[in-house]
Amino acid sequence: MGSLTGKVAWVTGAGSGIGQAAAVALAKEGAVVVLTGRRKAPLDVTAAAIRKAGGKAVVKPADLMKAAAVSRIAADIGKKFGRLDILVNNAGLNILERSWKQLSAKGVDEVVHGNLSSAFYCTSAVLPIMRKNKGGVLIHTSSMAGRQASLLSGPAYSAAKHGVVAMSHTINMEECVNGIRSCVVCPGEVATPILDKRPIPITKAERARMAQSEDVGDLIRYIACLPAHIVINEVMINPTWNRSYVANLQRGKA
């Protein structure tokens, strides 16, 4: 039996990258995992991997930028399982036209709703279930850009991810008395499909040196398995070969 046997987890952005890795890792610990993302086909791939390993997965595709869709899935989870122990708030996106001179109102809406509004919608939808059961853990994927504003990530993405960090801390401030815990994970560069949206392409060699989705997925699994009296409020995870550090070293030698 795994540490999460008998528990239910909802993972958003579960069709690829960190979300997929986290879903597989949680399922291996025994959790029943509900998988959500905009496209059903990648979710089916994740579900198949979980089931092949003997785990249990439920596919619930939805556009998490729509509050009604989020509420519907949360209600389905409550009705089917009567509980939700873990929310992995991982869905997110970025755009190519991200600098101030390129940014449009449409781009701002897409990035802010895709990273911040969706996280708020999911959190608001699951907290009543967790309060009723007097416990639960929420794990939110932010970014190092959520701690240090980054022109590389863009102003909209940096602002949205800062918002995710603030959101997570306020959950602990209010909900600790209800046995609910919130952790925000701030990864540095991770070799996920979101890198394909970088204005400057990332090479295969550079991706190999980055943190991998499975590294962050295992960290999420660890957080989810912590005892109920412990919360990790915030955690950063970075590749050892940190490209920003290396660039600073090279500038120092110039």
Q: What percentage of the chain exceeds 70 in pLDDT? A: 99
Six token digits for residue 35:
């998988």
| 56-59 and 234-237 beta bridge pairing | unpaired
Residue 75 has pLDDT above 80, yes or no: yes
CB-side neighbour CA atoms (13 Å) of 163: 17
Q: Output the average pLDDT for the chain.
A: 95
Mean pLDDT along residues 138-166 = 96
Mean pLDDT along residues 109-118 = 98
Q: Domain 8-253 is of which CATH architecture?
A: 3-Layer(aba) Sandwich (3.40)
Q: How far apart are the first and last CA of the chain?
A: 56
* Separation in Å, CA 121 to CA 12, 65, 80, 126, 235: 12, 8, 20, 9, 23
**How many Cβ atoms from other residues are within 10 Å of residue 197's Cβ?**
14
Q: Which residue has the tokens 């409550």?
A: 78
Query: What is the reported pLDDT for 114?
Result: 97
> Of the residues 121, 157, 222, 245, which is catalytic?
157
Residue 254 has pLDDT above 80, yes or no: no
Query: What is the reported pLDDT for 194?
Result: 74
* Separation in Å, CA 213 to CA 119, 237, 252: 20, 11, 31
| 8-12 and 234-237 beta bridge pairing | unpaired
Query: What is the reported pLDDT for 200?
Result: 78
121 catalytic? Reply is no
Confidence band of 1 (pLDDT split at 50, 70, 90): low
User: Which of residues 58 and 197 earns the better pLDDT score?
Assistant: 58
User: In 3-state terms, what secondary structure has residue 114?
Assistant: helix
